[in-house]
């Protein structure tokens, strides 16, 4: 027990060793109600509960059922530790206000042992026995975050270490939130100084202190495999990102299309062969002032150009016959919009006729035996 004297008077404050922060190792954690111990610890209220043991405990395989437990200290921040990460725990009052002496143990986010956002797990003494394993662990202590250094440590049921994940490099005044997978939010500013050894891409213009917020979802795939070396966001190479700027000019930014004619244009979806025959493009362009046209075929997600168009062979033959010979008529005429059928010029019509009943009755007689009539177009 420690005794601290108050500055405001002679009052002495007793601090019990049981109230101090203590470092512990995470053995297991409840992340959903399918965990075998979730019901016992309150179902949904149990989410985030960790099972822990002493850091120097030489029994890393201890059964969570007999291990100590702790709940997250913060309700607004869900940043749960991985198995074998080290966290700080402290006991304090719980929701049971009737019995004020009842204590509940809470934990803070993981300790930054490896100074890396991906994970900060550390092996137990029992796991560091051979000389080879000890060498690997010493390398990880020095920041050599490689594929073989910590792969013997259990991190969870499905979490896999990615040795190429890099931390972000910070500049003066930055606040950065980093996830474990190369995703991040930077609350930064323009930093234009000759003292910066690793300049960024957003500080070429504007004044120092102009705010910028960068949301990045996945680091560039062109980076090297040295996960312990920090990096800076790259708008053209990161998986996806959002830049909220103020007077900055992003020098590596490339617009989606360099053709100004494409601005405010109407996209014309590519057609299949059948659609092109039955609905000519001229009909689609009718009424369109600024259609997007290109000599390069536009990709159509609905068409796989590597798969031949499947159609009835008889229908294709009929369509081709109509195209080759406009005088031919067949069933395909009904399928072709606006098809022009030419009048057959080989047919000669007579310019007069003989009335078989000139008398106007069945016995014959009457005028009009060889009356002529006019043919009109």
pLDDT at 11 over 60: no
Task: Write down the pLDDT at residue 372.
Answer: 55
The count of other CB atoms within 10 Å of the CB of residue 367 is 9
> Is 31 inside a domain boundary?
yes
Does residue 79 sit within a domain? yes
Q: Is the dihedral of CA 358, 361, 362, 365 positive or negative?
A: negative
DSSP, res 185:
E
Residue 242 has pLDDT above 70, yes or no: yes
Instruction: Annotate 67-96 with b (16+ C-beta within 10 A) or e (fewer).
Output: bebbbbbeeeeeebbbbbbbbbbbeeeeee
Q: Residue 265 is encoded by which pair of tokens?
A: 């244009």
Task: Provide the pLDDT for residue 277.
Answer: 81
List the end-to-end C-alpha distance of the chain, in Å, as a whole number.
Answer: 119
Q: What angle do CA 299, 300, 305 make, to 5 degrees?
A: 80
Indicate the average pLDDT of the chain.
76
- The per-residue pLDDT for range 187-240, each reduced to its tens digit, is 999 999 989 999 999 998 899 999 999 999 999 999 999 999 999 999 999 999
What residue numbers bound the domain in which 41 lies? 13-107
pLDDT in tens, 287-330: 555 555 544 444 445 545 555 555 566 666 776 776 777 665 55
Q: Is residue 98 part of a domain?
A: yes
Per-residue model confidence (pLDDT) at position 347? 55
pLDDT tens profile 14-26: 555 556 899 999 9
Q: How many domains does the chain have?
A: 1
Res 362: pLDDT: 47
The pLDDT of residue 49? 97
Within a domain: 76:
yes
Residue 350 CA: distances (Å) to CA of 209, 353, 371, 372: 97, 7, 12, 9
Burial class (CB in 10 A: 0-12, 13-18, 19+), 330: exposed
Cβ contacts of 114 within 8 Å, gap of 6 or more: 120, 122, 140, 141, 143, 145
Distance CA 300, CA 272 (A): 10
Report which of residues 367 and 163 the model is more confident about. 163
* Per-residue pLDDT tens over the stretch 51-89: 999 887 665 567 888 899 999 999 999 999 999 999 999
Q: Would residue 144 count as lying in a domain?
A: no
Q: Specify if 222 maps to a domain.
A: no
Within a domain: 362: no
In a domain, residue 54? The reply is: yes
């Amino acid at each position: 027990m420690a005794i601290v004297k108050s500055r405001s008077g002679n009052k002495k404050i007793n601090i019990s060793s049981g109230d101090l922060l203590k470092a512990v190792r995470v053995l297991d954690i409840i992340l959903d109600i399918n965990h075998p111990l979730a019901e016992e610890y309150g179902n949904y209220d149990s989410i985030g509960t960790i099972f822990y043991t002493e850091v120097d405990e030489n029994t890393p395989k201890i059964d969570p059922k007999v291990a100590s437990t702790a709940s997250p200290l913060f309700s607004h921040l869900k940043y749960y530790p991985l198995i074998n990460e080290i966290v700080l725990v402290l006991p304090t009052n719980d929701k049971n206000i009737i019995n004020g002496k009842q204590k509940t143990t809470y934990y803070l986010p993981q300790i930054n042992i490896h100074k890396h956002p991906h994970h900060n797990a550390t092996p137990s003494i029992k796991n560091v026995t051979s000389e080879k394993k000890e060498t690997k662990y010493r390398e990880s202590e020095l920041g050599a975050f490689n594929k073989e250094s910590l792969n013997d440590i259990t991190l969870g049921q499905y979490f896999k270490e990615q040795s190429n994940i890099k931390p972000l490099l910070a500049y003066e005044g930055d606040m950065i939130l980093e996830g474990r997978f190369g995703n991040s939010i930077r609350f930064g500013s323009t930093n234009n100084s000759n003292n910066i050894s690793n300049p960024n891409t957003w500080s070429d213009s504007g004044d120092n202190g102009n705010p910028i917020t960068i949301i990045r979802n996945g680091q560039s795939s062109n980076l090297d495999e040295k996960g312990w070396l920090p990096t800076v966001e790259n708008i053209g190479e990161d998986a996806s990102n959002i830049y909220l700027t103020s007077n900055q000019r992003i020098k590596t930014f490339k617009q989606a299309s360099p053709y100004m004619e494409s601005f405010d244009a109407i996209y014309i979806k590519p057609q299949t062969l059948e659609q092109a025959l039955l609905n000519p493009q001229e009909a689609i362009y009718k009424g369109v002032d600024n259609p997007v046209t290109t000599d390069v075929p536009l990709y159509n997600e609905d068409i796989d150009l590597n798969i031949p168009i499947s159609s009835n062979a008889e229908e294709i033959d009929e369509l081709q016959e109509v195209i080759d010979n406009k005088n031919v008529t067949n069933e395909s005429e009904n399928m072709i919009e606006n098809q022009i059928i030419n009048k057959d010029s080989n047919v000669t019509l007579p310019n007069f006729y003989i009335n078989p009943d000139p008398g106007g009755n069945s016995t014959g007689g009457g005028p009009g035996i060889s009356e002529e009539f006019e043919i009109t177009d």
